């Protein structure tokens, strides 16, 4: 009897496999038929990119639809390579989903692609563009034809491999709003894990957040130990207490997970200035005149400057449009406390400055 059951089970298995094989054989097979081809813009464009128009459209691409052996959802990718390149190292200019056959390209997107392909700022070079289609990452087709263009890029993205932290809490300028002009912490120019803020606090509590508008990542703490909250699902760390209105120096080390908070007695009697501005050959007015910054209404020693174009060169901060009081630093992006010219690479920056200790943060904004 056992042998009969074994034969029956084997027979049923053969039938099942046969049925599955038949089903696979009957599935429709997708084949590529015709590759897409670019229809606009015309070949031979000469484009000189402008850093002040980085967010504007510079090109609009359209192309003929790719043809496959059955109706499918097609993704299109606009590829760019150096003229004469084989497109094995091509860069993506833009991607169109849902079978759309047109995309717009912004100035900053074309500029970065040109730089990534070895283009030199302010130097014209020739590039080729092709269109690629695929279905769910497979069945790829690349246009046989291409268009050529000459592109003159501006100085591209300045590498900025740093993390910035902001204060939040009823002891700070923004209260418990996580996206309302929050006070930035000033990062050390020589230790990227060390952050300081010397200035006025109200009686209350505060924490530090990384991304404006979000509650994580976050640092809180107690008794000199930082507590990290990586995601919204993690426990909310304790707030750090300010016992009374006044000036304090807060310093945290995100590698050691420690902090210090001390009264800053010199803050109450420190000189205040009518104006503080940036000056130097990296600035629009050179060494001839200062570009004024905006003074905080919460703390008379904190100054900011919104998105500002700077050139390769050096700069300083100075008070009251004179050289009686000025501040500098030796390190790009953050630092302070010396009379040196701060090194600047051409870009747009958001700038923060503290006249109590001369600390600054300059964040490339591209």
Dist CA 63 CA 350 (whole Å): 39
pLDDT of residue 88: 93
Angstrom distances, CA of residue 61 to CA of 9, 142, 267: 61, 15, 58
End residue of a domain, out of 254, 269, 284: 269
Q: What is the mean pLDDT of residues 14-43?
A: 70
pLDDT of residue 155: 81
Q: Is residue 24 part of a domain?
A: no
Q: Are residues 107 and 176 in the same domain?
A: no
pLDDT of residue 366: 65
pLDDT of residue 54: 86
Q: Are residues 190 and 87 in the same domain?
A: no
Q: What is the mean pLDDT of residues 206-234?
A: 97
Q: Is residue 226 part of a domain?
A: yes
Reply yes or no: is the peptide bond before residue 317 cis, omega within 30 of 0: no
Check pLDDT > 50 for residue 11: no
∠ Cα 36 116 128 (to 5°): 35
Q: Which domain holds residue 169?
A: 160-269
End residue of a domain, out of 253, 269, 285: 269
pLDDT category, 237, cuts 50, 70, 90? very high
Find tokens 């833009």 and name the residue.
94
Task: Name 148's Cβ contacts closer than 8 Å, sequence gap at least 6.
Answer: 43, 44, 83, 126, 127, 128, 129
State the CATH number of the domain containing residue 200.
2.60.40.3620
State the CATH number of the domain containing residue 105.
2.60.40.10
Q: What percent of the chain has pLDDT over 90?
A: 82
Q: Are residues 118 and 177 in the same domain?
A: no
Phi, psi of 13 (to 5 degrees): -60, -40
Q: Is residue 23 part of a domain?
A: no
Q: What is the mean pLDDT of residues 125-154?
A: 94
Q: Is residue 5 part of a domain?
A: no
- CA contacts within 13 A on the Cβ side of 191: 10
Q: What is the mean pLDDT of residues 4-33?
A: 52
Q: Is residue 221 part of a domain?
A: yes
Check pLDDT > 70 for residue 308: yes
Check pLDDT > 80 for residue 257: yes
Dist CA 51 CA 348 (whole Å): 9
pLDDT category, 346, cuts 50, 70, 90? confident
Q: Are 317 and 271 in contact (CB under 8 A)?
A: no
Q: Are strands 147-152 and 45-48 parallel, antiparallel or unpaired?
A: parallel
pLDDT tens-digit profile of 223-234? Answer: 999 999 999 999
Q: What is the 3-state secondary structure (H, E, C) of 286-334?
A: CCCCCEECEECCCCCCEEEEEEEEECCEEEEEEECCCCCCEEECCCCCE
Q: Are residues 305 and 344 in the same domain?
A: yes
Q: Are residues 43 and 144 in the same domain?
A: yes
Q: Are residues 125 and 144 in the same domain?
A: yes
Q: What is the mean pLDDT of residues 162-182?
A: 98
Dist CA 56 CA 68 (whole Å): 34
**Domain total in the chain:** 3
Check pLDDT > 50 for residue 18: no
Q: Are residues 36 and 130 in the same domain?
A: yes
Q: Are residues 241 and 345 in the same domain?
A: no
Q: What is the mean pLDDT of residues 277-285?
A: 97
Q: Is residue 282 part of a domain?
A: yes
Q: What percent of the chain has pLDDT over 70?
A: 92
End residue of a domain, out of 215, 234, 269: 269
Q: What is the mean pLDDT of residues 162-189?
A: 98
Mean pLDDT of the chain: 91
Dist CA 254 CA 161 (whole Å): 15
Q: Are residues 127 and 65 in the same domain?
A: yes
The length of the chain is: 366
pLDDT tens-digit profile of 69-114? Answer: 899 999 999 999 999 999 999 999 999 978 899 999 999 999 989 9
pTM above 0.75, yes or no: no
Q: Are residues 239 and 170 in the same domain?
A: yes
Q: What is the mean pLDDT of residues 150-155?
A: 92
pLDDT category, 277, cuts 50, 70, 90? very high
Q: Are residues 73 and 109 in the same domain?
A: yes
pLDDT category, 27, cuts 50, 70, 90? low
Check pLDDT > 80 for residue 325: yes
pLDDT of residue 3: 45
Q: Are residues 262 and 293 in the same domain?
A: no
Q: Is residue 64 part of a domain?
A: yes
Q: Are strands 57-63 and 102-106 parallel, antiparallel or unpaired?
A: antiparallel
pLDDT tens-digit profile of 180-202? Answer: 999 999 999 999 999 999 999 99
Q: Is residue 44 part of a domain?
A: yes
Q: What is the mean pLDDT of residues 249-258?
A: 98
Q: What is the mean pLDDT of residues 65-71?
A: 92
Q: What is the mean pLDDT of residues 310-329?
A: 97
């Amino acid at each position: 009897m056992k042998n009969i059951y074994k034969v029956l089970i084997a027979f049923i298995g053969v039938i099942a496999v046969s049925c599955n094989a038949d089903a696979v054989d009957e599935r429709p097979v997708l084949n590529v038929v015709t590759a897409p081809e670019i229809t606009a813009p015309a070949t031979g464009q000469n484009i000189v990119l402008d850093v002040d128009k980085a967010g504007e459209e510079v090109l609009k691409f359209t192309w003929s639809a790719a043809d496959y052996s059955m109706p499918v959802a097609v993704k299109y990718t606009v590829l760019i390579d150096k003229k004469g390149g084989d497109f094995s190292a091509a860069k993506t200019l833009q991607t169109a989903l849902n079978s759309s056959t047109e995309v717009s390209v912004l100035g900053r997107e074309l500029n970065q692609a040109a730089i990534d392909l070895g283009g030199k700022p302010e130097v014209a070079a020739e590039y080729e563009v092709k269109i690629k289609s695929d279905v769910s990452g497979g069945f790829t087709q690349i246009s046989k034809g291409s268009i050529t263009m000459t592109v003159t890029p501006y100085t591209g993205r300045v590498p900025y491999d740093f993390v910035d932290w902001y204060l939040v809490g009823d002891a700070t300028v923004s209260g418990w709003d996580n996206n309302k002009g929050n006070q930035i912490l000033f990062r050390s120019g020589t230790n990227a894990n060390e952050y300081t803020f010397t200035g006025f606090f109200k009686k209350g509590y505060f924490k530090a957040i990384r991304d404006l508008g979000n509650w994580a990542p976050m640092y809180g703490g107690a008794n000199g130990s930082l507590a990290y909250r990586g995601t919204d699902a993690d426990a909310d760390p304790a707030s750090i207490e300010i016992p009374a209105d006044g000036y304090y120096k807060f310093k945290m080390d995100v590698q050691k997970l420690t902090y210090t908070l001390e009264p800053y007695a010199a803050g109450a009697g420190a000189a205040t200035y009518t104006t503080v501005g940036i000056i130097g050959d990296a600035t629009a007015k050179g060494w001839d005149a200062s570009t004024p910054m905006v003074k905080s209404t919460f703390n008379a020693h904190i100054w900011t400057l919104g998105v500002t174009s700077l050139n390769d060169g050096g700069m300083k901060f100075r008070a009251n449009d004179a050289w009686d009081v000025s501040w500098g630093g030796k390190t790009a992006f953050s630092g302070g406390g010396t009379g040196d010219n701060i090194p600047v690479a051409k870009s747009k920056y958001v700038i923060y400055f503290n006249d109590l200790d001369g600390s600054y943060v300059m964040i490339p904004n591209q």
